[in-house]
């Protein structure tokens, strides 16, 4: 009987302890997870690079450069054979070509990019080009066919010519002096002696006296006879 009571009490205490532990566990809050902030995109999105246009390959062409004429002493003309799509590079036509004029400077080798901003290199699509003011003397101009990206082709031509020095006109003062100079008096038949010269007058007077003396002497001699 006593053993049964002890067993009942022991079982009741165990149940009570278990219930208390369960209540304590239920009342303990679980930790709240801290939210992770989402990354916010800043700045401007970088666009994907645009592929450069594929330029037309260099053709097998002939470039002939004609020397300047007297009417335009610093202007050259170019003929490209066969006819090509010659356009300014600023048009952006990948199938086009343009020209570079190298004035008294070595031309860029084929396959190399022509430098921009050089003072003696003219980038243009013109087939007739003025070279500007050139000093008197010998000059050489080489014209090179270029792709859209300014890469030099093997097609090229050159010409050498001479710019003449300007002629010097007579100065106005010298011309005016020559025009207003007093004309010299023509010489007369008096052995180059002018009648208004004192020396000439004296010579003529002496000559007259001598003539009179000779004439008088002859007359005297005649009377004596």
Q: Could you read off the pLDDT tens digit of each residue along the chain, which spans 225 residues?
A: 555 655 655 665 666 555 555 544 445 555 666 655 555 555 555 655 666 679 999 999 999 999 999 999 999 999 999 999 999 999 999 999 999 999 999 999 999 999 999 999 999 999 999 999 999 999 999 999 999 999 999 999 999 999 999 887 656 655 555 556 555 555 544 444 444 556 556 656 666 676 666 555 554 445 445
Does residue 27 sit within a domain? no
Q: Domain of 117?
A: 62-163
**62 three-state secondary structure:** strand
In a domain, 67, yes or no: yes
Among candidate residues 64, 108, 68, 66, the one with its CA nearest the CA of residue 82: 64
Residue 147 exposed, middle or buried by CB count within 10 Å (0-12, 13-18, 19+): buried
**Contact criterion met (CB below 8 Å) for 63 and 76:** no
Q: How many domains does the chain have?
A: 1
CATH number for the domain harbouring residue 123: 2.60.40
Q: How far is CA 198 from CA 110, 195, 205, 210, in A?
A: 90, 8, 11, 18
């Amino acid at each position: 009987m006593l053993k049964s009571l002890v067993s009942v009490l022991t079982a009741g205490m165990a149940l009570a302890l278990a219930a208390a532990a369960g209540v304590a566990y239920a009342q303990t809050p679980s930790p709240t997870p801290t939210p992770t902030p989402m990354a916010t995109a800043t700045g401007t999105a970088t666009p994907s690079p645009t592929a450069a246009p594929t330029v037309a390959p260099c053709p097998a062409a002939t470039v002939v450069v004609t020397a300047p004429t007297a009417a335009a002493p610093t202007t050259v003309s170019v003929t490209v054979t066969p006819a090509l799509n010659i356009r300014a590079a600023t048009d952006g036509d990948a199938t086009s070509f343009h020209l570079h004029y190298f004035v008294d400077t070595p031309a860029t080798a084929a396959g190399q990019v022509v430098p921009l901003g050089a003072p003696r290199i003219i980038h243009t699509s013109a087939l007739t080009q003025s070279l500007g003011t050139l000093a008197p003397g010998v000059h050489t101009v080489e014209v090179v066919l270029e792709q859209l990206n300014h890469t030099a082709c093997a097609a090229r031509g050159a010409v050498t010519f001479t710019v003449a020095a300007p002629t010097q006109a007579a100065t106005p003062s010298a011309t005016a002096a020559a025009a207003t100079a007093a004309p010299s008096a023509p010489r007369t038949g008096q052995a180059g002696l002018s009648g208004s010269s004192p020396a000439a007058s004296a010579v003529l007077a002496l000559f007259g006296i001598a003539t009179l003396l000779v004439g008088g002497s002859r007359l005297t001699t005649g009377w004596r006879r």
